[in-house]
Amino acid sequence: MNMHALDWAILGGLFVLLLVIAGLSSRLTRSVADFLAANRSAGRYLLTVAQGMSGLGAISIAANFEKYYQAGFGAIWWAQILAPISLLLALSGFVIYRYRETRAMTMAQFFEMRYSRKFRVFAGLLACVSGLLNYGIFPAVAARFLIHFIGLPDKISLLGVSLPTLVPVMALLLGTAVIMATTGGQISIMITDFLQGQFVTLAMLVILAVLFASMSWQDIIEGLRHAPVGQSRLNPFKQQNLADFNVWFFLILAFMQVYGYKAWQGSQGYNAAAKSPHEAKMAVILGEFRGMITLLLMLLIPIFIYAYLHLPQFASNAASIGEIVSRIPDGQLQKQMQVPIALGALLPAGVAGLFAAVIVAASLATDTAYMHSWGSIFIQDVVLPFRKKRLSPSAHLWMLRGAIFGVAAFGFFWSLIFPLKEYIFMYFQITGAIYLGGAGAVILGGLYWPKGSTAGAWTAMISGSLLAVSGILLRNFIWPKILPPLREIYPYWIGWPLLPEEFPLNGAQMSFFAAVVAVIAYVIVSLFSKRPPANMEKLLHRGPYAISGEHQCNNLSQGALKQLVCLKTDRPWVERFGIGPEFTRGDKIIYFLKITWVVFFVGVFVIGTVWNLIHPVSDLTWEKWWGFQVGLTVVAGSAAVIWFLWGGFRDLFEMIRTLKRERVDKGDDGSV
């Protein structure tokens, strides 16, 4: 076992502290709007830290460890394909600004406002099925991560019964998450996620310092040089033998990032929780600065472990770690757990407890957000639309709590029975596509195209879903069964390529094809629809439908601020860059700081890619570049930690004051 008394004290203290905070914050929850969306009272820093923590997750840590161990720094290089897209989406307030303007508390509620009640129920059910399947492996991956990191045995004896250690660890994590999510809903989730986010960032800085103290940067580079030919961990242009996390993987992600932007509802409570559309937009802009240190550690830990396991001076320790990994019977699980096992063997007392606490915090943050989201969507968008009489607030809240418990129970049992046979990221892509395959077209069309019709929405959602489900069945069930008989008759099929062991399309590729078909279906059917264009001003609460207080205009006088509609700036070219009348001077500084940071790295990516295609750059040059990028990110990320500590706690206290003085609106319960 890799844990000492100090480590267990840190881990136990985290559990107790989170439960106490969740209990105290539950006193602020007095209505359905509080439980579902924190009564739309969150500021930008609170939002970006808390939502970033909910999206981190122990499973995301494991998935990133898996990805970067396989691809090294090359994955960071090709990920720059996504950077300009992320920049444009964030600066423009793409989707999130208009969605917040609708004041919907779930995406399916927006679907009813834009399309129809029947479509709301269908989309809500589809989102639940996709979300539950996607979430179903979270508990097992998080528990295995913790088990292998700590070094717990595979089985334990409990009351005379031998059980897999996975069972009680999952039960502990899920039980704690259920308590945190049901006590105060989105309010307790947001507060605990925010505090966990601040803790994780500071803990990551400590862990990063310890790692660099135990191995020099030059040793890390030397270890990465031992990568097989065509699978370089340093030079992204020498990865031709890397099958999964290559340039094509990131090109597909780039398309899906735009198509499915904010469509995934795993943290839907956050999408509706901002105190204004502008705050929601600014939270997205700030997101990259918030995650610098965390994302850097997601990269450096697996790279550090890869180097350690391939350096000759650590050969004996590497052999011991390899022997532990080899005891895991499943090959894919070995890939997932290699980094946690090695890390558990290397971190000293105290620091090991810190990292274990990071795993637990990340697991609980994602569990609470997902349980709350899928449970809320099931009640709000599948169950309640069939009721003719509105529930009392008390009954409504208890129904939501029951659904959260149901999501936890599903995750527990699905994790026990489902064998994960591919990379975590690939499983995310294909299970998410059950809903996202059609949802992207429906959301973008609904928010930006008045001509988009209900018939087009139905067609896109059904076609995207069917293709995604077909891909799951074909890849995981049909292909393994039909492959042996096909190979027996293969010699008679002249000209066919050799049939591969696995289905030739991975999860990301199948998601891409499902999305393309859904877009085509939505556009064609909508163009032939006779339905009149939607009233977008009414949908978005603009013009004569504007709501007082939703838009604060900083270019107006104090008296003019009482108007319902913001005036346009006198510089329309500025508005084209996403800077509107709601921007303060500080907002503009943040805005241009974001542009400068992203444009610098994208410029390096474009120039470096073109230069390499003309005249290949040496591995030594790549080594120097990665050293510079890591150093720059550490400096900027450390400054961002202080920045978000101040801004986050300011927003937290302001939200608490707002919730205490706000009047309860019993009618604000997600009904249309």
- Output the DSSP codes for 419-475: ---S-HHHHHHHHHHHHHHHHHHHHHHHHH-TT--HHHHHHHHHHHHHHHHHHHHII
Pick out the chain residues at pLDDT < 50.
492-495, 554-565, 567-574, 576
CA dihedral 389, 391, 392, 394 (to 10 degrees): 170
Q: What pLDDT is stored for residue 456 in this prediction?
A: 93
Q: What pLDDT is stored for residue 426 in this prediction?
A: 63
Q: What pLDDT is stored for residue 486 in this prediction?
A: 65
φ, ψ for residue 621, nearest 5 deg: -65, -40
Contact partners, residue 430, CB within 8 Å, separation at least 6: 468, 471, 472, 475, 507, 510, 511
Residue 412 CA, distance from chain mean position: 20
Q: What pLDDT is stored for residue 171 in this prediction?
A: 92
Compute the distance between CA of residue 641 and CA of residue 205 in angstroms, rounded to an integer. 10
Compute the distance between CA of residue 650 and CA of residue 46 in angstroms, rounded to an integer. 8
Express each pLDDT in 464-518 by its tens digit: 888 877 877 777 677 777 767 766 665 544 445 556 666 777 666 777 888 889 9
Q: What pLDDT is stored for residue 556 in this prediction?
A: 43
Here the tokens at position 44 are: 């930008």
Q: What pLDDT is stored for residue 577 in this prediction?
A: 55
Q: Which amino acid is at 98?
A: R
Q: What pLDDT is stored for residue 494 in this prediction?
A: 45
- The answer for 452, left when phi > 0, alpha when psi is -120 to 50, beta otherwise, is beta
Here the tokens at position 203 are: 């803990």
Domains and CATH numbers, the chain: 5-421+584-661 (1.20.1730), 423-483+500-533 (no CATH)
Here the tokens at position 669 are: 């319960």
Q: Is the dihedral of CA 502, 505, 508, 513 positive or negative?
A: negative
Q: What pLDDT is stored for residue 424 in this prediction?
A: 64
Contact partners, residue 89, CB within 8 Å, separation at least 6: 95, 257, 258, 261, 284
Reference 188, options 19, 57, 26; nearest CA is 26
| pTM beyond 0.75 | yes
Q: What pLDDT is stored for residue 173 in this prediction?
A: 93
Q: What pLDDT is stored for residue 564 in this prediction?
A: 38
According to DSSP, the residues that pair with 162 across neighbouring strands are 157
Q: What pLDDT is stored for residue 400 in this prediction?
A: 92
Instruction: Encode 385-420: b = buried (16+ Cβ within 10 Å), e = exposed.
Output: beeeeebebeebbebbbebbebbbebbbebbeeeeb
Q: If 0-12 CB within 10 Å is exposed, 13-18 middle and 19+ buried, where does residue 607 land?
A: exposed
